[in-house]
Amino acid sequence: MIQNLKLLVTLAALALVAAPLAAVERSPFAKIEPLALSEARWTEGFFADRFELCRTQMVPSMMALMQGTNYTQFFRNFEIAAGLQTGRARGASFNDGDFYKFLEGASATLAVTNDAVLQRTLDEIIAVMAKAQWTNGYLDTWVQLNMRNTNSTVAPFRDRNNWEVYNLGQLLTAASVHYRVTGKTNFLTIARAAADYLDDVFQKPTPELALHDMCPSYLMGLVELYRATHEPRYLALARRMMAMRDLIKDGVADNQERLPFVKQTEAEGQAVRANYLYAGAADLFLETGETNLWKPLAQLWTNVVTKKMYLTGGCGALYDGAAPDGAKYQTGITRVHQSYGRNFQLPNTTAHNETCANIGNTLWNWRMFLATGEAKFMDVVELEFYNSVLSGVALDGTNFFYTNPLRVTDPMPMELRWARTRVPFVSSFCCPPNLVRTIAESACYAYGKSTDAIWVNLYGGSSLATELAGEKIKLAQETDYPWSGRVRIKIEASGKKEFALKLRIPGWATGATVRVNNRPSKSAVVESYFEIPRQWKAGDVVDLDLPLPVRVMEANPLVEETLNQVAFQRGPVVYCLESPDLPPGVKISDVLIPAGIKLSARYDRRLLGGVVALEGSALVRVDENWNGRLYRELQPEPLKSIPVKFIPYALWQNRGPSEMSVWLPLVGR
């Protein structure tokens, strides 16, 4: 049914006319209105290249993987449930949810490509899903197929570890995106039936039902379905399911159940679940304005950004641990998994930093920005995109990281569960489809709008075509960002009404300048946005210059792992040292950074698809042989100078297995 899709999608022309879109409406408690998926698109440069990689490689190759049975089963489980194939359920119980994430990403690409082949393929898939769905709206192939095989221990919502609500939450989001992009209701009809079923099951939540709160994508899904359909029952259900979390007695930190949400001030537990919870709570705030949601969100955000987030934006430092770590009341300590650690606990070699957690942080910060218009939230979104999100996928678009460490040595000091090389498949295949949808939708993060302003949030070659106060606005952005800090915005169409163009000045930027039609602008920076109110006309040009010096970074001394170490950042891009760029015989652990190091930024079109690398000289120990000892008497050793080249962290391990480190020891301070 879905034959040779990779070739067909790759050869499909990139159409200029977008598919019909359902309206995107501003949430009542949002300061910023997001754009429809077709209103902004990448045209050239860094993000355009990533979108094209997503369109031509990630979508078709992942479609082939998910329709096949080589590693596990995704779509085949739906075909069996629909009676179109024979067999049993295979794969993790959360495979349905990850398949929905992929369908969301594939649907999002249609807003730009309007690819008829992909549209037909999605329609075929959706038809099978509709046949698999029970008449009461329930849809979860793992449960359905195991029940069919007379497994008496399996039933809907009997076991929280079946991930049903997570799966259905991803379904609701994917269907809403598909509807907004295509205008078709076939996927939306499935989602509404599923949501109606959830509404019935959770009409009167109990402590037992509340245990199905795990990885609460359902909050974002229900709110998004409410926005797409304007059905108030779905928003009411989201509020009810958020409140039911407080029914859980003796909850565990791993699922953020140890304390009621309104009392949470520190991020803890499994980081993907945490960030999905925070993003869902922010969605509820955008629709309801409930201050009891905003207060913990603000406190949790401060805790993460000031004490628990890596320089790269990575989240979830620990493979395994305990929370609250080291607490006096030992009976309250619970195991945590792939989780936030204690404050300032940020190991490098054993950093977990699941790609999904980093994407979850993006989803959360985007919603915080929509609520406030504060640039600090977009600073985090930008940091994530350029570093710990895109590090999850190789330049070939078909190999992926599950974890994102900040240091890799050979040999490693211990054996860890996940590979330090990108691979086409891991048993927990949640991150790759999450990357597809994130990259496919990335252009919509670049802009926002309010009553009388267009907000420029991310810089990259792009175009915007939208309406403001009933008038059509078109602009084009030209830049080599993040390699260059020069940005030019051309107004291509504007109405007669005055509006402000608001340019985000990143928190790392100093000395930014703005010119309008080649004249210095006298406008002011308001909350880190350079605001230019004007009656714009076609042909107006705005030039923004963001200086991009190499910054030498150090961590709070309470971060023990990076004490007396430094890292390098240029603009939003965090750099690392990788072994292919070292002289033969030199290991990452041998390299020292001299105080006062001078690094030059040079664009190399032949390196990793074209990047700005940082070049200079570092020091290396001549002899560092420990002979299996844990300690030894200090042995002053002569140091020699070596050339070094730092590459963007997101691009490490694209040249084969290697050593790598973001943080390096400093000498001569």
Placement of tokens 């913990």 in the chain = 296
Q: What is the pLDDT of residues 68-83, one digit of tens each?
A: 999 999 999 999 999 9
* Beta-carbon contacts of residue 317 (< 8 Å; ≥ 6 apart): 308, 310, 339, 340, 341, 345, 346, 347, 351, 352, 353
Half-sphere exposure of 216 (CA within 13 A, CB side): 33
Q: What token pair was written down for 556?
A: 């709070």
Identify the pLDDT of residue 623.
64
Q: Which amino acid is at 470?
A: G
Domain with CATH 2.60.420.10 in the chain: 449-545
Helix axes 217-229, 164-182, angle to 10 degrees: 30
Identify the pLDDT of residue 162.
93
Q: What is the pLDDT of residues 335-379, one digit of tens each?
A: 899 999 999 999 999 999 999 999 999 999 999 999 999 999 999
How far apart are the C-alpha atoms of 283 and 293, rounded to whole Å? Answer: 10
Q: What token pair was written down for 616?
A: 């200079």
> CA 525 from chain center: how many Å?
28
454 DSSP assignment: E
The CA-based angle 452-453-459, given to 5 degrees, is 170
Q: What is the pLDDT of residues 410-421, one digit of tens each?
A: 988 888 888 889
Whether residue 497 has pLDDT greater than 60: yes
pLDDT higher at 524 or 367: 367
Average pLDDT over residues 244-259: 92
How far apart are the C-alpha atoms of 219 and 349, rounded to whole Å? Answer: 34
Phi and psi for 453 in degrees, rounded to 5? -155, 145
Helix (H, G, I), strand (E, B) or coil at 506: coil
Q: What token pair was written down for 285?
A: 């705030």
Half-sphere exposure of 555 (CA within 13 A, CB side): 29
Phi and psi for 230 in degrees, rounded to 5? 60, 25
Q: pLDDT grade, residue 621 (50/70/90)? A: confident
Decide if 406 contacts 351 (C-beta within 8 A). Answer: yes
Helix axes 431-440, 95-113, angle to 10 degrees: 20
The full length of the chain comes to 669
> CA 528 from chain center: how many Å?
23
Q: What is the pLDDT of residues 135-157, one digit of tens each?
A: 999 999 999 999 998 777 899 99
How far apart are the C-alpha atoms of 98 and 167, rounded to whole Å? Answer: 8
The answer to which of 493-497, 522-526, 607-611, 663-667 has the lowest mean pLDDT is 522-526
> CA 580 from chain center: how many Å?
28
Decide if 343 contacts 376 (C-beta within 8 A). Answer: no
| Pairing of the two strands 453-456 and 499-504 | parallel
Whether residue 526 has pLDDT greater than 90: no
Whether residue 652 has pLDDT greater than 60: yes
| Pairing of the two strands 664-667 and 591-594 | parallel
Identify the pLDDT of residue 415.
83
Q: pLDDT grade, residue 325 (50/70/90)? A: confident
pTM summary value: 0.95
Whether residue 332 has pLDDT greater than 50: yes
> CA 468 from chain center: how many Å?
28
How far apart are the C-alpha atoms of 366 and 358, rounded to whole Å? Answer: 12
The class of domain 449-545 in CATH terms is mainly beta
How far apart are the C-alpha atoms of 366 and 360, rounded to whole Å? Answer: 10
Identify the pLDDT of residue 153.
86
> 461 forms bridges with which residues in the sheet?
44
Taking all residues of the chain, what is their mean pLDDT, rounded to a whole number?
93
Q: What is the pLDDT of residues 31-79, one digit of tens each?
A: 999 999 999 999 999 999 999 999 999 999 999 999 999 999 999 999 9
> CA 9 from chain center: how many Å?
24
* Beta-carbon contacts of residue 298 (< 8 Å; ≥ 6 apart): none
Identify the pLDDT of residue 27.
94
Q: What is the pLDDT of residues 540-582, one digit of tens each?
A: 999 999 999 999 999 999 999 999 999 999 999 999 999 999 9
Whether residue 18 has pLDDT greater than 80: no
* Beta-carbon contacts of residue 128 (< 8 Å; ≥ 6 apart): 75, 78, 79, 82, 84
Identify the pLDDT of residue 628.
84
**Beta strands in 415-561, from DSSP E residues, in sequence order:** 447-450, 453-456, 461-468, 471-479, 486-493, 499-504, 513-516, 519-520, 525-526, 529-534, 541-545, 550-553
